[in-house]
Every structure is written in C-alpha cells, then in structure tokens.
Amino acid sequence: MKSSQTTIKDIARRLNLSVTTISKALRGMPDISAPTRQLILDTAREMEYEPNPIAQSLVRNQTHTIGVIIPSFTIPFYASAISGIQQTASEAGYNIMVCQSNESYETETNYTRVLLNSRVDGLIVSLARETTNFDHFNRLAERSLPLVLFNRVCDAVPASKVVVDDFEGAYQVVRHLIEMGCRRIAHIAGPANLLLSRQRLQGYQQALQESGLPVCEDFIRTGDLTIASGTRITEDFLKLDTSPDAIFAICDSAAFGAMQTLKSRGLRIPDDIALAGFTDEPVAAIVEPALTTVAQPTFEIGQIAAQLFLDQVRGGESYQPTTQVLKTHLVIRASSQKKSRVS
Amino acid sequence: MKSSQTTIKDIARRLNLSVTTISKALRGMPDISAPTRQLILDTAREMEYEPNPIAQSLVRNQTHTIGVIIPSFTIPFYASAISGIQQTASEAGYNIMVCQSNESYETETNYTRVLLNSRVDGLIVSLARETTNFDHFNRLAERSLPLVLFNRVCDAVPASKVVVDDFEGAYQVVRHLIEMGCRRIAHIAGPANLLLSRQRLQGYQQALQESGLPVCEDFIRTGDLTIASGTRITEDFLKLDTSPDAIFAICDSAAFGAMQTLKSRGLRIPDDIALAGFTDEPVAAIVEPALTTVAQPTFEIGQIAAQLFLDQVRGGESYQPTTQVLKTHLVIRASSQKKSRVS
DNA sequence: ATGAAAGCGCTAACAA
DNA sequence: TTGTTAGCGCTTTCAT
C-alpha cells in the first residue's frame, strides 16, 4: 500500500470543486472568491498537500534546477564558491546539481550532456584545466540556455562571467616581493588556455618591468596548478645558474609544492627565498611559514555567479552577457617578510 | 521561435507509426519487429532524440536523483566523500543534489523538506553537529524512501549506515602515543550526540586503561570539531596544574587549532607535547610538524554510501538496513615522534 | 507486431 | 467566480 502524496485532484474531490479552481486558488490567482480560496488553502494544509514540481516542470518546461560543473570538489576555492552559489540559488527557489569534471575535458562534456538531458535550466561552469574546445558550451547559447562562467573562464564563449582582477592581484603581490628586496623573482605559471593564467602572468611581468627588473624566460615555467607541478618546477628553478630569490606561484597549491621542495633542500623561507601564492586557501595561514598570498572573495564569487544566472533567466532573450571583475586583496604573511628588512 | 527538443511524437509523425511503437522500440521491448526497431533507432539518432526524464519521472514516480545533505562543502572529508557518492551514483544513472546544513539543525530539516518536495528518490545524509532530533528522517522511513547515513550517524534512525571503526582508530592512535612515551594524554572530544564522538572517546579510554594509565576527567574536554574549539580547549589544558604531554584531537581541524595554541606558547611539538588528529586531511601532511592522524577511506565511504542507497532502491520493501564499518589506518608523522625516543 | 486510449499531476485557454 | 477541455512527454494496459 503505497501512501502516495496528496494531489490537487484529491483536494478537488474532497471539496467538490474542479482541479482548475484548486490550482488557481493555490497559486493566488485573482479570480477565486475569498471564502473559497481560504477553504482550499486550509484543506490543502490539512491534507499536507505539496505541489509536485515534476508535473510543474513538465508543463512549464523549466525545472528550477541549475547545473554546476567545477573542476573538483576538493579544491577549497570551489567548495566555498559552491556554497555561495547554493545560497543565492536556494533563496530564489532554485536547486543546484553539482558535477566535477576532474579537470578532464571528456568528463566535462559528458556532464554537460547529462545535465542538459536532465533538463536543467542552464549551467554555471568553471572550466577544466585541459578544456580548449568550447563547442559544448556554444551549443547552450544556440538553445538560448543561460550560461555563467566563473574563475576559470575563456574568451571564446559568449556568456556572463565572474572573475577577480587577476592581473592586479598578481601585480600587487609581485610589487610586494620587490619591495621586500627580491630581485630575481620566478613565476610558476598555469595552463595558457585559462585566461587567469595569462593575466596573472601579465601582472607579474608588468610589476617587474615597472621596477626595471628583467623578465627572464628561465624564471617562467608552466605547470598545471597542482602541488606536484609546484615541487617539480621549483626543482627546475633551483638548477639554474643563478637561482631565484623569490617565487610567485599561480595558486596556493603550487606554492605548497614549492614550499615542500624548498624545505627539503634546506632553504630558509623567506630569508633564502621568498614565496607567494594566489587564492588564500585556509591552509595558507596554517603552513609554516604562513603563506603570503592574494585573497579572493570565493563565497561572493559563487553568489554573484548565481545572481548573474538568475538575471539571465529573468532577462530572457534580451539579456546581454556581462563580466563582473571582483577585487582581490594582498595578504602578507611570513613567507615573504625577509627578516633582514624588518625595521 | 523556440527550437524545442525532439519528442517521441515527432518521430512517430515522421515514421507514420504510433508513439507507443516508438516508445517500445526505444526501450528495447521485445514485441517490435527487428526492421521497425532499427528504423526507429536510426531515426531517433538522426533527429537527435533525447528522452525527457521529467516526463519519465512523472509517469514512473521516480526521479533518479539522490538528495545528499552534508554539514559543509568546505570540510575536506565531505568534498572527497561527495566525489565518491557522485561517481557511484553517476555510473548507475543517478544524479545527486547536494545541500549543506552548515551544521544547523534548522537548515538540515529545511533542506530535507526541499529535497523531498523536489521528489528525490531518497537521501544520503551526514548529520549536522547540532542535530539531536531525528523526526525528519523517520518520516522518510514511513514513506519507505531509502535513507543512508554516513560518518555522522546516530542510533536513533533505522537506516543503512557507513562508518569507520572509530573506536579502533582512536584506540590505535592513543596506543601509539603511549608507545612513544606519553603518559598524560588529553583528549579534545566531540559533541556527544554524534556516535563517532562517543566511540573515539571510548577508544581513547580503552587504550589508557589497558596501559594502566588513569582516565582523568580534566584531560577530556568537549569541543565542536572546529579549529577554534581546538585552540580554546588546548588553552584550558595548559592551565591545568599538570599539563598533558600529548593531545589526541577528535578530528584534524581540532588538532590544527591545538597546534596553533601550542606553537604560540612556544611549546615544541612533539618534544614538549605530542599531537594527533583523526581523518588525515591533505593538510595534515603539510603542516609543521606534519600531523600524526588516523586515515579514513573518504572517497570509498562515499562510494559505499551510494551503493547501499542503490541496493535499497532495488531491494524495495524487503530491504534490510545494514551498517558497513570500514577500517582506518594509523598514519604516523612528526607530531608524535619524540626525538628522545628515536633509536 | 502495432496502435488506441488512458493517465501521471499540473497549467492554461476558453467557456459558462 | 467556477468549470471544461486540452495538453506537457512519456508509459502502460488492452485491443486489434
């Protein structure tokens, strides 16, 4: 005996009214008399009626569900960003369905398909590291489905975007390293297909140039944002004839990798070599020495991404994609504060 | 001009067949002739037909969606567990909808309602820290909806459960501390409503008793699993007349808090005071000194939780809840290896 | 082997 | 103000 949920029909039968009347009353349409409406509302509550969103989805052709694709749940940045997305979405009556691409292009396209088949109302996405083809997203635009990119975005897709000012963030932290007396600053870069990699690289270069420091190719190596790439590239740096006196890593993970290598070589941070990252993951404050880094408003990035999504839903065809650029702020910790300079 | 998706009806019209025939052929029912079936399959592919799961849900009364409620996305344990859940669910054709309770009872009940209203096929849950009333979950059983609890479980709910052997894990790590020469081992405990808190506490007590060490009430303080509670409780420990020579924290977060306090007091870890946690978060290997801890198979826990869910779906009414207890393993790092004892 | 008809729970034109 | 009818896309008896 399956105790199925109360439906609009049950209420209609009980009250000897038509389902239409019930439906209208429940949704507060104006053409139902006050007493009838009250009666229906009371009865619905008494019978513990809950509308079936599946049926509503079928007729309205929208699910109130947002598909979200992120590279990985285990990157703290995304954990926080999802929280922000969910909060804003939830307040607007939307559910989210989150999938992780595991940095794989194939998995990303696959989940794009799965989510669309599940009839989500649109997508909020942060690109996989290896994604360089964007056809699967362009197809969204063709169907005029909302799409918002955040953090890992690219130029090739016409969609609303949420990013931080990567250029400025990188510029500031490298300026800081220079002010601390560093003159040979190396950079662990990220995959060139990601806009943020290029912009952080440019901020780094700009800061060097403005201070009259040379931009040396040997001091720039491209990694894949992982701890492992941080350790590997740092080893390379240390093999150079003149090794760097500071390293600016594209992200905190790479910086942690660098930190491991430096420590294992017996180098003192920051006295022998200073270190800085990007994002300000919670761990950055805990490692030793605590990591100087560029803080991003991770939760807020998620909230804004969701908000842009909702705007797009409401704007309909006339909606014009926008790009929101948020500010970062420099967090100076022990890994960059050379004792020799402390006055 | 809305370019709506191809439907079964479109195929029927094109082929001059009934929708019934299309539906049957598409689902591989046996009563369709081979040539017709092939024709339908080919046409469907050509027209890029994708079944509408909303319509299927409506008629089948199941959504192939699992609701997941976790305390927080930003706890690394859950990030990894979700990955496991998603992988297994995904392979079985299920989507997941993940919500975070933020450790709040109210948010947890709220999302339970939201997910049920969204007609998920059941729930996979890890309890909020403050949850002590379980009516919202018992209601699931009444509707005979599948429910799986993991990690943060309780006795009061009749459901399948996935946990690790918390008693044994705690027992082993405390034994290890004793072997390292510690004699005054304190414990930062967790909320008593969580089974895992009680079991880790018991493992701790058992290890002490077996070694003939006293179980001292002053050395046991209950926190809330946070870094902050770790710092606070450690400060309390240090105020005691005889302060501990080791601290076993209920989780890594609490251990990190303890580490901060100890360092700020100038105490050397492990020589002045040894430290151990539970879970083996990625950070545990990075902090200094690296944290001795009890590793949990986080990803696998998620996989098994999803598997139990699927079993329950397939088992139907006759399904009997089971509890899977996974093994932990001790990870010994610098925070517990007293130099004085290294031979 | 194929199809007609009813129905899942709801909304929306259009009547009455 | 209330009700009738049709339909969203699909599955499922039950005929033919």
User: d(Cα A276, Cα A173) in Å, to the nearest integer?
Assistant: 7
pLDDT tens for B53-74 read 999 999 999 999 999 999 999 9
Q: Taking all atoms of strand D, which protein residues have CB closer than 7 Å?
A: A 16-21, 24, 30-33, 36-37, 55, 58-59, 61; B 4-5, 7-9, 19-20, 23-24, 26-27, 49, 51-52, 55-56, 58-60
In whole numbers, what is the pLDDT of chain B averaged over residues? 94
pLDDT tens for A314-331 read 988 888 999 999 999 999
Total-model pTM: 0.94
Residue B1 in any domain: the answer is no
The answer to whether residues A247 and A200 belong to one domain is yes
Contacts of A100 in chain B (CB under 8 A): 83, 86
The answer to whether residues A142 and A234 belong to one domain is no
User: d(Cα A253, Cα A230) in Å, to the nearest integer?
Assistant: 7
For residue B340, name the pLDDT band (cuts at 50, 70, 90): low
* Residue B90: per-residue pLDDT: 96
Which residue type occupies B304?
I
The answer to whether residues A211 and A288 belong to one domain is yes
Residue B249 touches partner A, C-beta closer than 8 Å = no
Residue A240 in any domain: the answer is yes
The answer to whether residues A70 and A178 belong to one domain is no
Q: Which of B57, B82, B117 sits opposite A50 (nearest CB)?
A: B117
User: d(Cα A298, Cα B2) in Å, to the nearest integer?
Assistant: 36
Q: Please answer yes or no on whether B117 and A143 come within 8 Å at the CB atom.
A: no
Residue A100 touches partner B, C-beta closer than 8 Å = yes
pLDDT tens for B18-58 read 999 999 999 999 889 899 999 999 999 999 999 999 999 99
The answer to whether residues A179 and A282 belong to one domain is yes
Q: Is the pLDDT of residue B341 over 70?
A: no
b/e map A305-335, b = 16+ CB within 10 Å: bbbbbbebbeeeeeeebeebeeebebbebbb
The answer to whether residues A205 and A90 belong to one domain is no
Q: Which of A54, A98, A117 sits opposite B119 (nearest CB)?
A: A54
- d(CA B117, nearest CA chain A) in Å: 7
Our measurement of the distance from residue A155's CA atom to the centroid of its chain's CA atoms, rounded to an integer in Å, reads: 16
The answer to whether residues B247 and B290 belong to one domain is yes
Q: Is the pLDDT of residue B343 over 90?
A: no
Provide the CATH number for the domain around residue B220.
Answer: 3.40.50.2300
Which residue type occupies B134?
F
Provide the domain count of chain B.
Answer: 3
The answer to whether residues A94 and A145 belong to one domain is yes
Residue B342 in any domain: the answer is no
For residue B89, name the pLDDT band (cuts at 50, 70, 90): very high
pLDDT tens for A152-173 read 999 889 999 999 999 999 999 9
The answer to whether residues B127 and B157 belong to one domain is yes
The answer to whether residues A34 and A72 belong to one domain is no
Q: Is the pLDDT of residue B292 over 90?
A: yes
Q: Please answer yes or no on whether B83 and A74 come within 8 Å at the CB atom.
A: yes
Which distant-in-sequence residues (6+ apart) come within 8 Å of B76 by Cβ?
A: A74, A76, B279, B281, B282, B283, B298
The answer to whether residues B112 and B183 belong to one domain is no
Whether residue A294 contacts residue A328, with contact meaning beta carbons closer than 8 Å, is answered with yes
Residue A135 in any domain: the answer is yes
Residue B3 in any domain: the answer is no
Residue B53 touches partner A, C-beta closer than 8 Å = yes
Whether residue B12 contacts residue B19, with contact meaning beta carbons closer than 8 Å, is answered with yes
Q: Exposed (0-12), middle (13-18) or buried (19+): which is B238, by Cβ within 10 Å?
A: middle
Q: Is the pLDDT of residue B280 over 50?
A: yes
For residue A340, name the pLDDT band (cuts at 50, 70, 90): low
Provide the CATH number for the domain around residue A27.
Answer: 1.10.260.40
Structural domain for B140, as ranges: 60-163+298-325
Q: What's the rounded mean pLDDT across residues B279-296? A: 94
The answer to whether residues A252 and A302 belong to one domain is no
- Find and list the nucleotides of strand D having atoms within 7 Å of a protein beta carbon: 1-5, 7-13
For residue A1, name the pLDDT band (cuts at 50, 70, 90): very low
Residue A341 in any domain: the answer is no
Residue B149 in any domain: the answer is yes
* Residue of A74, A80, A94, A317 to mutate, testing the B interface (most B Cβ within 10 Å of its Cβ): A74
Q: What's the rounded mean pLDDT across residues B308-336? A: 94
* Residue A18: per-residue pLDDT: 92
Residue A88 touches partner B, C-beta closer than 8 Å = no
* Residue A295: per-residue pLDDT: 98
Residue B192 touches partner A, C-beta closer than 8 Å = no
Residue B77 in any domain: the answer is yes
Q: What's the rounded mean pLDDT across residues B169-183? A: 97
Closest nt by CA–C1' to B49 = D9
Q: Check residues B343 and A21 and name the one with the higher pLDDT.
A: A21
